[in-house]
């Protein structure tokens, strides 16, 4: 399509055409910065205002001309529009009789047009699309806002800041493809416009444009070329950066940068791609049992001590761990998780860092080394038919409760969802209290419903409330989620199963399948460790397993009680003394420390890493890859796990992941 020219005095016509039945978002000066806001008139644009940016510094400055887009980027992007900092996911209610109800909250956003989006911002939307609408699940709230974004006029950047490196990142300053409907390049006299979509062409037709004069074309190209040169800083080689960063996990530079980092989370707030979030029960009005609440999703930062914490402990305990997580994710494992870098080169994190930490400088210094021994997996391709994920629980009834130990119960729940495979998990919730991921420890399918067993240890507010449920009450259920045990890969081979503590629960479904099918699984050896005899799960069921001639079971406890005549000692010692058959495959579940040593003991017994499967625990909050809380290096545990083959877990046992 050929370019057209819109003289500066006709800008009001562009604003009016974009506002025709739509809300118009564009750059405005607010609180000393240029931010996205609603535009009503051309005068709302930052006419004659530019910006100066450097690490830790942002200032507006007066321009000598009347340009409306003569700045680089402000602290906000379109992320706030599509993925608001705080939003309600659903409303929840619990009645005095213990019944629960959930009502989805999905916005109906008004039709929206955007004027002045930069190439980097459009690239960032593409990155967030990979998270929210192109994974296995699609987020309806994000999608609704995305669909409401009807017309986008991008203005190619000719005023890059000193912190900009979109050229290095490969996202700008020119806008490529159909990321916007209309592409503008601003020169002193007006805008050079080029339509990239049918809607853009229609809009262009309605504007009082004329042909582009040669000198206008030359001026636009000259300014764009200059911006291109400036944003190709040559300081950051993106190619191979993920592997180089993961090769540098022990670099002394992490300590140096952590000493400067305030862990304030400014970088993640201003980043147009950071997608991590927290969810909490807001506005709770709770009586003894009944109450109402709204589940709210709130932006969260990997720099916060809360983010990723499990039972009050964060696997990334220090600022160094968190900075390393942020940088290796943004520039490294993002590629493995989502098929694209998380960095679009906008430089906001550097500008808005109060300590002036320069991302490019850090990445350059850290990524200078050798290519990694840490193998980074390939990201799954964008999903063509993602399922609609509304994040809203369904009500399920508690049929019965079995007390297993002093702090562990098994809920027998009638659910009307999809039946879980052994090793998968459900998200269980209670209005006003919260939600917790719980592995399914047994499933029986029936016509029209599924009876699920969920073994829960009461350690936090939510799990304690779940363990206090009574028959006839209801709870919220989402899922099943994640990748379960690879039963097909075990067929015909001797199977070794090692369970520690409540780690037996996620394994029980798999054990039942193995116990019931001696023709497919002729040799099953179970090794179960518990803290004390009283902490052993499912003792009665264990006896029935022992009755099967293809099953051998050995139980050990760390601390014996008087009269205990079984084994005493850690579960790894059982492996050491038992001849593990050739070609055995192993399933392991327990605390991470126990799995690490068990894995080593299995290797010593001849079971190589490619024949071991472990189930990882990380804080799975949303369970569908939207919230970023369950990251473990290149993996989103909720999506890629929780069951992993041992050779996929290069970071197992490494502190800070």
Partner 1 sequence: MTVESHTLASFPGLATLPADALASIAALTFEERHRADALLFNEGDAPGDLYWIVRGHVQLTQRFEGRGTTAVLTLSDGELLGWSALLRRPRVASARALTETVLLRLDASALLELCEQDPRVGYRVMAIAFEEVADRLHATRLQLLDVFGSR
Binding residues for partner 1 (CB under 8 A): 311-313, 407, 457, 459, 500-502, 529-531, 535, 556, 558-560, 562, 564-570, 572-573, 576-577, 590-591, 593-594, 597
Query: CA 273 to CA 124: how far, in whole Å?
Result: 5
Least distance from partner 1 to the Cβ atom of residue 554, Å: 9
Query: CA 73 to CA 33: how far, in whole Å?
Result: 9
Least distance from partner 1 to the Cβ atom of residue 68, Å: 57
Least distance from partner 1 to the Cβ atom of residue 458, Å: 8
Least distance from partner 1 to the Cβ atom of residue 535, Å: 7
Nearer to partner 1, 41 or 559 (CB): 559
Nearer to partner 1, 52 or 558 (CB): 558
Least distance from partner 1 to the Cβ atom of residue 316, Å: 17
Nearer to partner 1, 43 or 600 (CB): 600
Angle between the 359-366 and 253-260 helix axes, to the nearest 10 degrees? 160
What is the 3-state secondary structure of 149-194?
Answer: EEEEEEEECCCCCCCCCHHHHCCCCCCCCCCCCEEEEEECCEEEEE
Nearer to partner 1, 171 or 556 (CB): 556
Nearer to partner 1, 302 or 502 (CB): 502
User: Could you write out the DSSP letters of every residue in 46-73?
Assistant: -TTEEEEEETTEEEEEE-SS--SS-S--
Residue 392's SS3 state is: coil
Nearer to partner 1, 7 or 569 (CB): 569
Query: CA 165 to CA 283: how far, in whole Å?
Result: 43
Q: Name every residue whose Cβ is closer than 8 Å to that of residue 493 and which is 6 or more positions away in sequence.
A: 583, 584, 585, 611
Angle 610-615-621 (CA atoms, 0-180°, nearest 5)? 135
Residue 236's SS3 state is: coil
Residue with tokens 């994710």: 329
Least distance from partner 1 to the Cβ atom of residue 309, Å: 12
Q: Name every residue whose Cβ is closer than 8 Å to that of residue 117 and which is 6 or more positions away in sequence.
A: 78, 152, 153, 154, 155, 180
Tell me, what DSSP letter sits at residue 642?
A: B
Nearer to partner 1, 256 or 306 (CB): 306
Least distance from partner 1 to the Cβ atom of residue 350, Å: 38
Least distance from partner 1 to the Cβ atom of residue 537, Å: 11
Query: CA 436 to CA 476: how far, in whole Å?
Result: 10
Residue 100's SS3 state is: strand
Nearer to partner 1, 24 or 537 (CB): 537
Q: Are strands 100-104 and 86-94 parallel, antiparallel or unpaired?
A: antiparallel
Query: CA 511 to CA 528: how far, in whole Å?
Result: 12
User: What Cα–Cα distance (Å) separates residue 523 from each residue in 225, 374, 500, 595, 603?
Assistant: 69, 34, 21, 22, 19
Least distance from partner 1 to the Cβ atom of residue 619, Å: 14
Per this entry, what is the length of the chain?
657
What is the 3-state secondary structure of 504-555?
Answer: HHHHHHHHHHHHCCCCCCCCEEEEEEECCHHHCCCHHHHHHHHCCCCEEEEE
User: Could you write out the DSSP letters of every residue in 309-378?
Assistant: -BTTB-SS-SHHHHHHHHHHIIIIIHHHHHSS-S--S--HHHHT-TT---HHHHHHHHTTSPPPSSPPPP
Backbone angle region of 32, left / alpha / beta, with phi > 0 → left and psi within -120 to 50 → alpha = left
Least distance from partner 1 to the Cβ atom of residue 505, Å: 12
Nearer to partner 1, 147 or 564 (CB): 564
Query: CA 168 to CA 154: how far, in whole Å?
Result: 20
Backbone angles phi, psi at 462, to 5 degrees: -70, -50
Least distance from partner 1 to the Cβ atom of residue 621, Å: 19
Nearer to partner 1, 501 or 628 (CB): 501
Q: Which two tokens stand for residue 291?
A: 């109450």
Least distance from partner 1 to the Cβ atom of residue 542, Å: 16
Query: CA 127 to CA 516: how far, in whole Å?
Result: 46
Angle 588-590-595 (CA atoms, 0-180°, nearest 5)? 60
117 half-sphere exposure, CB direction, 13 A CA radius: 29
Least distance from partner 1 to the Cβ atom of residue 410, Å: 17
Least distance from partner 1 to the Cβ atom of residue 500, Å: 6
Least distance from partner 1 to the Cβ atom of residue 600, Å: 10
Q: Which residues pair with 278 in a beta bridge?
A: 298
Nearer to partner 1, 118 or 508 (CB): 508
Contact by Cβ (8 Å): 351, 57: yes
Least distance from partner 1 to the Cβ atom of residue 571, Å: 9
């Amino acid at each position: 399509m050929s370019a057209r020219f819109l003289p500066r005095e006709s800008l009001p016509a562009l604003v009016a055409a974009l506002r025709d039945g739509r809300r118009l978002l564009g750059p405005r000066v607010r609180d000393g910065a240029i931010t996205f806001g609603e535009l009503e008139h051309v005068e709302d644009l930052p006419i004659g205002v530019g910006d100066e940016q450097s690490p830790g510094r942002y200032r507006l400055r007066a321009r000598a001309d009347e340009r409306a887009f003569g700045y680089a980027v402000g602290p906000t992007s379109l992320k706030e529009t599509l993925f608001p900092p705080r939003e309600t996911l659903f409303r929840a209610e619990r009645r005095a009789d213990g019944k629960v109800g959930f009502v989805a909250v999905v916005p109906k956003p008004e039709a929206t047009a955007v004027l002045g989006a930069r190439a980097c911002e459009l690239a960032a939307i593409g990155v967030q699309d990979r998270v929210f609408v192109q994974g296995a699940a699609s987020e309806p709230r994000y999608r609704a806002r995305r669909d409401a974004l009807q017309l986008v006029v991008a203005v190619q950047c000719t005023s890059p800041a000193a912190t900009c490196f979109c050229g290095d990142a490969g996202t700008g300053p020119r806008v490529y493809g159909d990321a916007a409907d209309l592409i503008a390049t601003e020169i002193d006299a007006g805008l050079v416009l080029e339509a990239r979509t049918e809607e853009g062409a229609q809009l262009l037709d309605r504007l009082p444009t004329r042909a582009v004069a040669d000198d206008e074309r030359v001026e636009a190209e000259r300014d764009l070329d200059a911006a291109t040169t400036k944003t190709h800083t040559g300081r950051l080689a993106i190619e191979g950066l993920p592997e180089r960063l993961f090769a540098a996990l022990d670099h002394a530079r992490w300590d140096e940068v952590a000493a400067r980092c305030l862990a304030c989370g400014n970088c993640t707030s201003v980043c147009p791609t950071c997608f991590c979030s927290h969810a909490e029960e807001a506005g709770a009005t709770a009586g003894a049992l009944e109450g109402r609440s709204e589940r709210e999703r709130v932006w969260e930062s990997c720099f916060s001590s809360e983010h990723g914490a499990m039972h009050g402990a964060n696997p990334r305990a220090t600022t160094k761990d968190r900075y390393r997580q942020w940088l290796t994710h943004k520039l490294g494992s993002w590629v493995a998780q989502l098929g694209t870098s998380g960095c679009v080169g906008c430089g906001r994190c550097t500008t808005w860092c109060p300590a002036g930490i320069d991302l490019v400088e850090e990445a350059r210094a850290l990524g200078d080394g050798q290519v990694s021994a840490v193998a980074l997996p390939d990201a799954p391709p964008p999903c063509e038919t993602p399922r609609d994920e509304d994040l809203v629980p369904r009500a399920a009834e508690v049929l019965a409760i079995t007390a297993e130990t002093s702090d562990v119960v098994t809920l027998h729940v009638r659910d009307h969802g999809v039946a879980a495979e052994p090793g998968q998990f459900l998200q269980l919730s209670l209005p006003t209290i919260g939600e917790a991921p719980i592995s399914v420890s047994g499933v029986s399918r029936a016509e029209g419903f599924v009876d699920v067993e969920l073994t829960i240890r009461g350690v936090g507010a939510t799990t304690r409330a779940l363990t206090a449920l009574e028959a006839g009450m209801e709870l919220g259920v989402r899922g099943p989620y994640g990748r379960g045990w690879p039963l097909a890969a075990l067929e015909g081979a001797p199977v070794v199963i090692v369970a520690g503590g409540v780690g037996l629960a996620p394994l029980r479904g798999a054990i039942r399948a193995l116990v019931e099918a001696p023709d497919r699984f002729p040799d099953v050896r179970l090794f179960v460790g518990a803290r004390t005899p009283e902490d052993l799960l499912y003792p009665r069921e264990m006896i029935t397993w022992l009755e099967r001639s293809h099953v051998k079971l050995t139980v050990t406890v760390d601390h014996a009680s008087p009269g205990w005549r079984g084994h005493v000692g850690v579960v790894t010692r059982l492996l050491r003394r038992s001849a593990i058959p050739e070609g055995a495959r192993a399933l392991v579940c327990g605390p991470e420390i126990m799995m690490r040593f068990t894995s080593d003991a299995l290797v010593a017994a001849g079971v190589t890493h490619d024949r071991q499967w472990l189930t990882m625990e990380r804080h799975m909050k949303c369970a569908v890859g939207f919230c970023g809380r369950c990251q473990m290096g290149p993996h989103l545990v909720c999506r890629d796990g929780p069951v992993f083959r041992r050779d996929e877990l290069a970071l197992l046992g490494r502190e800070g992941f």
